[in-house]
Amino acid sequence: MKEKINWPVSILIALGSLLILVPLYITITIALKSPQDLAESALSLPLNFHWENFTKAIETTNFFIALKNSTVITVFTLIFTILSNSLVAYAIARNMHSKVFRYLYYYFVSALFIPFPIIMLPIVKQTSALGLNNSAGLILLYVVYGMAMNIFIYVGYIRSIPVELEEAAIVDGCTTWGVFWKVIFPLLTPINATVGILTCLWAWNDFLMPLIILSDSADATLPLVQYVFQTEFGTDYNLAFASYLLAMAPMVIVYLFAQKWIIGGVVKGAIK
């Protein structure tokens, strides 16, 4: 039988693709133009490709220093997030029959409904008072504030794992700690990949929290250094867009290779 084309869905997919491809096309063309070409038209293809815009953007933003800062913050945030959040979620998931752990679960998840701007000023004052207005403090905040969403995802996934696996391990002599690391944690690989990718995208692209927390310009991340192209009298769009592409490229590559884990893991984690 000849398959029918679902035109409404196909049209929606095409429109959705345009919403992504058109801004990306504009970004790439502006990054490769001279200011004179941009003044004539922002949508047309560049007459000459000005690759030197990328070199100038790298020099202006101290790109490699900011790249190092972003990489360090993202990698350590990823490691501590997976280790700590999975442990907390496991304790909650296996004790949901207890009112205490059930309320703890609701307490963590309720943080999803608190807008960050509401708690922004107290956080700035507290981190400054504790000497955490640096990269270490920023990593700690990412781990803590990512806990709400991550526990929601982890708990649903862990509850789908049969308890009999843990009971068999305990019979074989495993402690609770051993059960988690030898039985549960290896089974969490798909959801760890999902949480890891979402955490990487957040920590890498975040602008607001580094802006209010980091006090030393030497610790600036890639989103922060994009500020240098905006002056009192205007913006150097050619260099700015070239810098945006450089900052965006690493996470785009990561996402393209790992998008199936993001979609599949979020669905699995929300089943229960």
> What whole-number distance in Å separates Cα of residue 238 and Cα of residue 246?
13
**CB neighbours of 45 closer than 8 A, spacing ≥ 6?**
29
- pLDDT of 32 reads 87
pTM of the model: 0.83
Residue 268 has pLDDT above 60, yes or no: no
- 10 Å CB burial of residue 101 (0-12, 13-18, 19+) is middle
> What whole-number distance in Å separates Cα of residue 227 and Cα of residue 137?
22
- pLDDT of 92 reads 92
Under the banding of pLDDT at 50, 70 and 90, the label for residue 142 is very high
> What whole-number distance in Å separates Cα of residue 79 and Cα of residue 63?
24
Question: What percent of the chain is predicted at pLDDT more than 70?
Answer: 90
Residue 269 has pLDDT above 50, yes or no: no
Mean pLDDT of the chain: 84
In DSSP terms, 235 is beta-bridged to 230
For every residue of 225-238, DSSP letters joined together read: HGGGGB-SS-B-HH
What is the residue whose two structure tokens read 């600036």?
220
Q: Looking at residues 159-171, what average pLDDT do you find?
A: 87
Exposure string of 143-172, with b = 16+ CB inside 10 Å and e = fewer, is bebbbbbbbbbbbbbbbebeeeebeebeee
Q: 190-234 pLDDT, tens per residue?
A: 888 888 888 988 999 898 899 989 888 888 899 888 877 766 456
- pLDDT of 8 reads 80
Q: 6-55 pLDDT, tens per residue?
A: 778 778 888 888 888 888 888 888 888 887 877 777 777 777 888 888 98
C-alpha dist (Å) from residue 27 to 101, 130, 224, 225:
48, 41, 19, 18
Q: 238-259 pLDDT, tens per residue?
A: 888 888 888 888 888 877 776 6
For every residue of 76-108, DSSP letters joined together read: HHHHHHHHHHHHHHHHHHTTTTSHHHHHHHHHH
For every residue of 15-31, DSSP letters joined together read: HHHHHHHHHHHHHHHHH
Under the banding of pLDDT at 50, 70 and 90, the label for residue 90 is very high
State the CB neighbour count (10 A cutoff) for residue 71. 14
Cβ distance 202 to 142 under 8 Å? Answer: yes
- pLDDT of 244 reads 86
- pLDDT of 215 reads 85
| Nearest of 221, 208, 199 to residue 151 by alpha carbon | 199
* 3-state SS, residue 72: helix
> What whole-number distance in Å separates Cα of residue 228 and Cα of residue 249?
19
- 10 Å CB burial of residue 212 (0-12, 13-18, 19+) is middle
- pLDDT of 264 reads 59
Q: Looking at residues 47-74, what average pLDDT do you find?
A: 89
- 10 Å CB burial of residue 270 (0-12, 13-18, 19+) is exposed
